[in-house]
Amino acid sequence: MQLTALDGIGDVVAGDDIAQIIAASLGAIRLAAQDVVVVAQKIVSKAEGRRVDLAGVTPSPAALDLARTTGKDARLVELILGEASEVVRAVPGVLIVRHRLGLVMANAGIDQSNLSRDTPGEPVLLLPVDPDASARAIRNGLRAATGVAPAVVISDSFGRPWRLGSVNVAIGVAGLPALVDRRGEPDRYGRRLEATEVALADAVAAAAGLVMGEGAEGLPVVHMRGLGWQESDAGSAMLLRAAGQDLFR
């Protein structure tokens, strides 16, 4: 399996066509149908105009309360609550919510880094409105531009409850199955496998994160070749535990 971060993506602005940008940045890569293209959430959100200026946000009483608890900017908390269906944990420095998409994540995925210095105000970036739809649109755009429809995964960086450090997971998926159910398949000794629902799209996102980097050298699109996958249109939601089925104490 081979992973290649694409050069030359450059700054993405609202209205940009991510599929066109990717198609123009493939260089020597000739897309094949079993390829996977992993795209960082950040450029998808930028292209979709999901930037908000904190200067224009008025915090509600609930946001002011949670801002005091967490020590976060009340205007940012207002935006987080607007994206959230439930507050999961709020302690100093930490605000974890269930995003309206079902994702349990810090700050509803709202991001303040890697926004161009040229932007006036105090810009932050929200998640795409529907990342599965974004992934499908990029896939369709790549099909139109190149004649080939690789799987597309939109990745974002998540913390974990029991482990330190972030890893990338899949918040949008088109083409490949986000979850592969291997329960019932025989192991190499003919014994039935237990507990092997594999989070394929999350592992794809984590792998791509190794070559994306962050910070100054950020490379937001990764081409992956050599992963076997079977067509699926189920999207990313199958990765989400329903509220009440999580593994809390």
- Residues 142-201 touching its own copies, rule: CB under 8 A, are 157, 159-169, 178-180, 182, 185-200
Q: Kindly state whether residue 14 participates in binding its own copies, applying the rule CB under 8 A.
A: no
Least Å distance between CB 145 and its own copies?
A: 25
Complex with its own copies: residue 108 or 137, whichever CB lies closer? 108
Least Å distance between CB 168 and its own copies?
A: 7
219 three-class SS? coil
Q: Kindly state whether residue 234 participates in binding its own copies, applying the rule CB under 8 A.
A: no
Least Å distance between CB 144 and its own copies?
A: 28
Complex with its own copies: residue 127 or 137, whichever CB lies closer? 127
Q: Kindly state whether residue 214 participates in binding its own copies, applying the rule CB under 8 A.
A: yes
> Tokens standing for 208?
């791509």
DSSP codes, 51-104: EEEGGG----HHHHHHHHHHT--HHHHHHHHHHEEEEEEEETTEEEEEETTS-E
Least Å distance between CB 83 and its own copies?
A: 16
CA atoms of 136 and 237, how far apart (whole Å) = 14
Complex with its own copies: residue 4 or 25, whichever CB lies closer? 4
62 to 101: interface string for its own copies, x by CB under 8 A: --------------------------xx----x-x-----
Least Å distance between CB 122 and its own copies?
A: 11
Q: What is the 3-state secondary structure (H, E, C) of 184-215?
A: CCECCCCCECCCCEECHHHHHHHHHHHHHCCH
Complex with its own copies: residue 48 or 111, whichever CB lies closer? 111
Least Å distance between CB 97 and its own copies?
A: 11
CA atoms of 45 and 127, how far apart (whole Å) = 6
The amino acid that residue 187 corresponds to is D
Residues 6 or more apart in contact with residue 210 via CB below 8 angstroms: 3
Q: Kindly state whether residue 28 participates in binding its own copies, applying the rule CB under 8 A.
A: no
Distance of CA 161 to the CA centre of its chain: 18
The amino acid that residue 74 corresponds to is A
Task: Report DSSP state, residue 29.
Answer: -
Tokens 């967490």 identify what position?
70
